[in-house]
Amino acid sequence: MTARPQLPERAARTKGAPTALDGVVVVDFTRVVAGPACTQTLADFGAEVIKIENPEGGDDTRAYEHAEIGGESAAYLSLNRNKRGIVLDFNVPAAREVARELIAKADVVVENFSGGVMKKFGLDYESVTPTNPRLVYCSISAYGRKGPLATRPGFDPITQAESGFMSLNGFPDGPAVRTGPPIVDMATGMSACNAILLALLARDRLGRGQHVEVALFDIAMSMTGFYGMAYLISGANPGRFGNSPNGSPTVGVYEASDGPLYMACANDRLYRRLVTEVLERPDLVTDSRFVDRKGRTANKEKLRAIIAGVFASDRLENWMAKMKKANIPVGHLRTVEQGFNAPEARERHRLNRIPHPTAGSVPNIETPLNMSLTPVIDPIAAPLLGEHTDDVLRKTLGYDDDHLAALAEAGAFGKMRTNNAVPDRPVPPSNLR
């Protein structure tokens, strides 16, 4: 059995430092990846994010099987930090009314249900904005909320396939390959977060909120980047190129005698340094076949074989030292285990552990965003299912014991009373007034 990595406790943020999104309230109806990734970033920087889940199982990622700790999955923990969790059964009218009351006090709503679900429950933008015209309402879907594809379900790998993005991944002689991590989901979450922040800025000038839409298909298409643009200009369909864009013999994976490296030597200046200072083959500069980029591409298989033979003659450590001295862009080709234990991860304080009520502590991967004046809040692990139901409804909506009991009796919190509040567990701060 693989040993669990030993992680340091997370250092506390600067005492008294402000947060970027203090006072911003987000009602979060999202689940799985794209939506939770978006709202986690908002929560990391001080927004109060109230995550609403179905009491019968909650967010689908709670059941994902990558790994689990303390009864919570790795997927769920990785996407729901710093949120306050409540449960509501929208099949119960009283629960829908609670959701509407929360939305009336919110700055932002984020949802990624299938098309028509929010409208069915009277929680869509058109239904709720009359009582809260300053609301920024973000809808995340596969194909948008309007038009003939609005009700069509879709997921990250489907949009990778349909947009052309997947066709660019893999080797020329093999099939198209989806990315391992759900890159379209993650990029959609980032884009949705950007769109929400843009809408909040616009609200300050215009005095009202707006409906924001982000679709996985649109993001996947945009991520074809300059390959998509090249097709539009030339009409030539771009294909797969593995680890070497356009077949470049000086970009890609090479094997030293004891392990792989990835090199990105993409221009004439770097090429000359590579072959003279690192490979000690000055003849590769003067050889007419390799004298410029066009020639190197035309003779890429010959040049690649020569370079591969030289790299195979010495150890990885020695090549890395030579290439770094010559300022050649190069990196170790690491596994996740190696990458997470690498000096870059340690020096940049990317990994730590934070308290958790059922696991004692859980691993934490720091947000990649850094702000000098308004740093991220001290992280609190993702909430247990329904953990903050009573607390949120008391503090946010002023409900008393009788009101909470009546809602429970009506089934608003599911078939069983769900309140997993942990007395000694810190909770993200409440911004609602």
- CA gap 25, 136 in Å, rounded: 11
Burial classification of residue 396, based on how many CB atoms lie within 10 Å of its CB (0-12 exposed, 13-18 middle, 19 or more buried): buried
The yes-or-no answer on residue 390 being catalytic is no
Sequence-distant (≥ 6) Cβ neighbours of residue 407 within 8 angstroms: 94, 95, 98, 393, 399, 413
- CA gap 183, 186 in Å, rounded: 5
Largest pairwise CA distance in the chain: 87
- CA gap 383, 222 in Å, rounded: 34
Q: Which is the catalytic residue, given 156, 185, 218, 390?
A: 185
Query: What's the distance, Cα to Cα, between the start and end of the chain in Å?
Result: 49
- CA gap 70, 323 in Å, rounded: 45
- CA gap 117, 130 in Å, rounded: 19
Task: Name residue, tokens 């970033």.
Answer: 41
3 state SS of 354: strand
- Cα 267 from chain centroid? 32
- CA gap 123, 432 in Å, rounded: 20
- CA gap 41, 47 in Å, rounded: 9
- CA gap 244, 297 in Å, rounded: 11
Of 24, 38, 36, 366, nearest to 191 (Cα)?
A: 38
Give me 273's structure tokens: 């340094």
Parallel/antiparallel/unpaired status of strands 108-111 and 83-87: unpaired
Q: Are 56 and 30 in contact (CB under 8 A)?
A: no
Catalytic residues: 185
